[in-house]
Amino acid sequence: MARPAAAAPCPLPTPGWQRSLARRLLGWYRRHRRDLPWRHTSDPYQIWVSEIMLQQTQVATVVPYFNRFVAAFPTARALAEADERDVLRLWEGLGYYRRARQLHRAAREIVEGHGGGFPRDLEQVGRLPGIGRYTAGAIVSIAYDLPAAILEANTIRLLSRLVAYSGDVSSGAGRKFLWQLAETIVPRRNCGLFNQSLMELGSLVCTPKAPACGVCPVRELCGAFRLGRQDQIPRTRARPPVEAVREASVVAWHRGKVFVRRRADGERWAGLWDFLRFPIAARRGDALRTELAQKVRQQSGLSIREPEKIATLKHGVTRFRITLDCYRATCRGTRITLPSPEWRWIEPDALEELPLSVTGRKLSRMLSDISPRA
């Protein structure tokens, strides 16, 4: 099979092009930027929280989470002093829970290593847990107006189109080139506004499909527009296919309480609490009852009897489309004392206090309609 042709080297833009880009972008941003809560502050803590929440998550979803989070934890010190359970509870439904745990750890490092004040130095910021090169650049440029570059999904698309970069933007060489480009074009002044305008234009105008070139303020500077190649740039690798998975969740009852466990480090949704949950192969009859009983015993040591299906929930985790069959079951009287404080028997009402996954929360809300069987 013929190998794809190597991308032609792409020259970095001239100083005149860069000045024109900055002027057009800043003018457009002043007129068209969305009114978002984190744009009313230069507090690096709040900008950091917003940047972490915005990773992999839509702006409209983030806004209410951001408002609740900074109201509950208005400073890095307040976050550092919080219980992880409360942090995760406020993050519940936002997904990618590792972000919240790293935010919490980083807040503790800010208190211990920096006296509670957010560092200004790009390298120090980049050493905090959960803060990569993009996030560090975004925080110091937006909060302190320091000339730090950024590169994330919107700017990868916009920059590669602007210079008509025909290489694979997900390759090492592609990333290296785009970071070099981002560092070249970031201006000495108004760097935070410039970076935000790049992201905003990428998000609102230079969209992945059907970019609105007709209203784009930088189309005269855009290589992809000039060549009519907006639909072919950026070039990316094919995504792995979506995989269908079946899982079961079992609400195990004992004396009016249900069993929950805190998911361990390294597991999906680490730090959240959950009912018993595992992959399941059998579909019906004795084979299903036997597999449910075995897997409940393996995961918890509990013995259940007569599991009964109460719901089927569908959800996605990364590239997996999961069908979750939910069961209730009563525990037999063996191994009712739990060996770990991270495993609990709990009144259904008390689940409101614990951080749960989205499907765990849906299941918990059904429990008021489901009484334990005798």
Query: Residue 238 CB, nearest distance to ligand SF4 (Å)?
Result: 22
β-strand 276-279 against 273-274: which pairing, if any? unpaired
Residue 329 binds to ligand SF4 (criterion: CB under 6 A): no
CA–CA dist 139, 142 (Å, integer): 5
By CB under 6 A, name the one of 141, 154, 197, 230 that touches ligand SF4.
Answer: 230
Task: Report the residue number, 160 or 357, with the smaller CB distance to ligand SF4.
Answer: 160
The answer to whether 366 touches 310, Cβ cutoff 8 Å, is: yes
Nearer to ligand SF4, 95 or 234 (CB): 234
For residue 261, which of 371, 368, 359, 346 has the smallest C-alpha distance? 346
Interface with ligand SF4 in residues 176-205 (CB under 6 A): 205
CA nearest to 345, candidates 264, 271, 261, 272: 261
Whether 51 is a known active-site residue: answer yes
The CA distance from 319 to 241, in Å, is 7
Least gap, CB of 64 to ligand SF4 (angstroms): 30
Q: Strands of 195-319 (E only): list them.
A: 243-254, 257-262, 273-274, 276-279, 304-317
Number of residues that bind ligand SF4 (CB under 6 A): 15
Q: Is 10 one of the binding residues for ligand SF4 (CB under 6 A)? A: no
Piece in contact with ligand SF4 (CB under 6 A), picked from 223-231, 264-272, 283-291, 365-373 = 223-231
155 binds ligand SF4 (CB under 6 A): no
Stretch that binds ligand SF4, among 110-118, 222-230, 243-251, 261-269 (CB under 6 A): 222-230
Minimum distance of ligand SF4 from residue 191's CB (angstroms): 20
Interface pick for ligand SF4 out of 225, 253, 269, 327 (rule CB under 6 A): 225
From 22, 25, 206, 272, residue interacting with ligand SF4 (rule: CB under 6 A)? 206
User: What is the rounded distance in angstroms from the CA atom of residue 269 to the CA atom of residue 357?
Assistant: 7
CB atoms within 10 A of CB 130: 17
224 lines the binding site for ligand SF4 (CB under 6 A): yes
Angle made by CA atoms 356, 90, 103, in degrees to the nearest 5: 105
Closer CB to ligand SF4, residue 149 or residue 233? 233
263 contacts ligand SF4 (rule: CB under 6 A): no
Nearer to ligand SF4, 104 or 219 (CB): 219
Nearest distance, CB of residue 10 and ligand SF4, angstroms: 15
* Region of 13-21, 34-42, 207-215, 320-328 interacting with ligand SF4 (CB under 6 A): 207-215
Nearer to ligand SF4, 132 or 208 (CB): 208
| 158 in contact with ligand SF4 (CB under 6 A) | yes
Note whether 363 and 357 are within 8 A (CB).
Answer: no
Only one of the segments 21-29, 220-228, 276-284, 356-364 lies at the binding site for ligand SF4 (rule: CB under 6 A); that segment is 220-228
Q: Does 222 bind ligand SF4 (CB under 6 A)?
A: yes
The nearest distance, CB 217 to ligand SF4, in angstroms, is: 8
Long-range contact pairs involving 339-346 (C-beta distance under 8 Å, separation at least 24): 339/301, 340/261, 342/261, 342/262, 342/264, 343/259, 343/260, 343/261, 343/262, 343/300, 344/259, 344/260, 344/261, 345/254, 345/255, 345/257, 345/258, 345/259, 346/257, 346/258, 346/260
Is residue 322 within a helix (H) or strand (E), and if so which, with residue range? strand 320-331
**Given 211, 234, 355, 360, the residue binding ligand SF4 (CB under 6 A):** 211
Does position 163 interact with ligand SF4 (CB under 6 A)? The reply is no
Give dist(CA 27, CA 200) in Å, integer.
12
Q: Which two tokens stand for residue 293?
A: 């009983």
343-346 vs 273-274, strand pairing mode: unpaired
How crowded is the C-beta side of 129, counted as CA atoms within 13 Å?
14
- For ligand SF4, the closer CB: 227 or 287: 227
Nearer to ligand SF4, 208 or 279 (CB): 208
Contact 97, 103 (CB under 8 A): no
**Which residues, in sequence order, are CB contacts of 147 under 8 Å at separation 6+?**
141, 186, 187, 188, 191
Q: Which residues bind ligand SF4 (CB under 6 A)?
A: 158, 161-162, 205-206, 211-213, 216, 218-219, 222, 224-225, 230
Residues identified as active-site:
51
